[in-house]
């Protein structure tokens, strides 16, 4: 018995997590996971309303992995500083349309509570 998968031709769809995490002072990454048949013609990363120029920056690079129904495009950032955290925009184009997603790069542990509540601290 043969198993076949059918893929629908159409505009790309970004399926990434809206918030991704990394640690300061280490290398970080932001992932743009894309379903796209056909494969994307172009993927752009934008930060602070400017297209990221990987070749000129010296701190950014891109890797891309093809999957059966799309790609994972990863923006690598060397030695994260506090100003690297925040919003990144991934925009994907193919012959049928485009999709855009805002992805927030947050510090690992940023959303963990630093306060512990015990039964003794609660007034009933």
Domain borders along the chain are: 13-106
CATH C-level class of 13-106:
mainly beta
What backbone phi and psi angles, to 5 degrees, belong to 119?
A: -60, -35
The pLDDT of residue 107: 96
The pLDDT of residue 61: 95
The pLDDT of residue 65: 97
Q: Nearest-CA neighbor of 66 among 96, 37, 91?
A: 37
45 vs 6, 9, 24, 69, CA distance in Å?
30, 24, 21, 21
Show pLDDT as tens, one digit a residue, over the chain (124 residues): 677 777 789 999 999 999 999 999 999 999 999 999 999 999 999 999 999 998 788 899 999 999 999 999 999 999 999 999 999 999 999 999 999 999 999 999 755 444 444 444 444 4
């Amino acid at each position: 018995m043969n198993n076949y998968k059918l893929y629908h031709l159409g505009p790309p769809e970004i399926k990434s997590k809206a918030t991704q995490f990394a640690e300061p002072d280490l290398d970080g990454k932001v992932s743009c996971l894309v379903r796209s048949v056909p494969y994307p013609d172009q993927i752009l990363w934008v930060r602070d309303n400017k297209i990221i120029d990987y070749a000129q920056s010296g701190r950014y690079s891109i890797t891309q992995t093809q999957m059966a129904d799309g790609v994972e495009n990863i923006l690598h950032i060397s030695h994260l500083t506090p100003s690297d955290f925040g919003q990144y925009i991934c925009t994907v184009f193919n012959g049928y349309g485009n999709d855009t997603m805002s992805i927030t790069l947050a510090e690992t542990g940023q959303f963990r509570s630093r306060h512990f509540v015990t039964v003794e601290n609660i007034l009933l």
